[in-house]
Amino acid sequence: MPSYLLLTSLPLANMCYAIPGKITDFDGKKVIVDYFGEKRYAYNEFKEVKKGDYIYAQGGFVINVVPEKEAMEILEFWKESFFKLREVDLRLARLEGSGVAGEKTRIILDKALEGRKIDFEEYLYLLSLEDENDMGYLFKVANFIRQKHHKNACCVHGIIEFSNFCSSDCLYCGIRKSNRTLERYRMSEEEILQTVREAVSVYGFKSIVLQSGEDPHFDADGISFLIRRILKENNLLLFISVGEVGERGLKKFYEAGARGVLIRFETSDKELYSKLHPRDALSYRMAEIRAAGEIGFLVLTGGLVGVPGQKNEDILKDIFAAKKLCPEMYTFGPFLPHPDTPLSQNQPPAVELVLKTIAVLRLADVNGKIVSTTALETLDAEKGRNDGFMAGANSLMLNLTPEKYRGLYNIYPGRIHEKETVKHQIDKAIEDLQKLGRAPTDIGLR
């Protein structure tokens, strides 16, 4: 059986927790872990472990064994705050506000709460809500369901954008090949290694995404070599996000030790996809994502919300197309017009549409993680991130790209956190999450 099937069949394998857990038993290749009194499972491929060991797991994989003394210190630190945070989260996730929502909204959301099937038209009704009370109740229900199935765990991954060279020409994207005004950069292998090293040893990241445009300079062998070098010196769950590399390329990444792939399909509408990606086809993109899952990667995928020519119905179809790909994590962010692209004259979507997308996604898949995206934060700098969390999201990505390059990874303008140090981003993330009672379980405590 491919390992992704094993993984998806584990009840809580997709919980990530950078707070160490203690191995209480074995179940084949899985370890059973005690985590604040709860039983969790993780898939062990990389480490020699025995009963009684303390481990870190990410995305359901054991990535590191922690010396007992260190583990006890961390657990001691967390013990009190962990349960306090849970109380805050539980309080904020209470269901109220149903009284002011319209009858049809309440009837549909009752179905969600009772785990009954919601049909396409009903989902579309939710995605098209305009009334503030109705939308407010939709977000409440989505957050309630998030709490019920995921508790207050929040994954915080780091992303390193190592090259903005791109041979693709996606109409919406600022780093598209035809944007000749953009200064291009490519980090050296040493720079990438140094960035990872710092993220892991100074900031305690346990999970990192390596992202770039479709840069011909880095072929699948080159990236695999890099993956090996990174994993040789770091205990890390590594996601690769470099566009399409084909099944052979993906297999090379897997053999080198990467266990995640981040690739959006952007839109699941064939015609819209062709318009936005003149030389590419949706079928190839979907085949690539399916192949990643079949090989055993954790898949992060999703689409753009509010791209020109898209209807609410299309967004809903995107949600179901994403669900069919069994992702570990969903990433749906707003389209933001870039001045140096053919779509410069278009408008971004309303923030509410992005939040409704997150909420409907949460109802459609109670198990998947959902990112509150940087694009959503950019659309609404003040509230976007936390509103995403209060509408069903439970994951975050912080930008680890060295500051001198970050502004050049200019996929859309005015990207938030462009000039903030990693330390500042972490402090702000912890502050935001604590307010909401979420435990930032993927940031270490060094």
**Would you tell me which residues interact with ligand 5AD (CB under 6 A)?**
172-173, 264, 266, 304, 333, 335-336, 338, 375, 411-412
Cα 328 to chain centroid distance, Å, stands at 8
Residue appearing with tokens 């309440």: 106
Q: What is the spatial distance between Cα 267 and Cα 357, in angstroms, rounded to a whole number?
A: 13
Task: Determine contact, residues 414/161, Cβ cutoff 8 Å.
Answer: no
Q: Other CB atoms closer than 10 Å to residue 385's CB: what's the count? A: 23
Give me the least distance between CB of 248 and ligand 5AD, in Å please.
22
Q: What is the spatial distance between Cα 287 and Cα 5, in angstroms, rounded to a whole number?
A: 18
Give me the least distance between CB of 243 and ligand 5AD, in Å please.
9
Q: What is the spatial distance between Cα 105 and Cα 134, in angstroms, rounded to a whole number?
A: 6
Give me the least distance between CB of 337 and ligand 5AD, in Å please.
6
For ligand 5AD, give the closer residue by CB, 254 or 412: 412
For ligand 5AD, give the closer residue by CB, 147 or 410: 410
Give me the least distance between CB of 169 and ligand 5AD, in Å please.
12
Give me the least distance between CB of 301 and ligand 5AD, in Å please.
9
For ligand 5AD, give the closer residue by CB, 195 or 346: 346
List CB contacts of 87: < 8 A, sequence separation 6 or more: 437
For ligand 5AD, give the closer residue by CB, 122 or 269: 269
Give me the least distance between CB of 217 and ligand 5AD, in Å please.
18
For ligand 5AD, give the closer residue by CB, 258 or 307: 307
Pick from 158, 242, 254, 243: nearest CA to 197: 158
Helical segments of 368-408, H only: 374-379, 384-389, 403-406
How deeply is 323 buried, as exposed, middle or buried, from its count of CB atoms within 10 A (0-12, 13-18, 19+)? middle
Q: What SS3 state is found at 105?
A: helix
For ligand 5AD, give the closer residue by CB, 289 or 360: 289
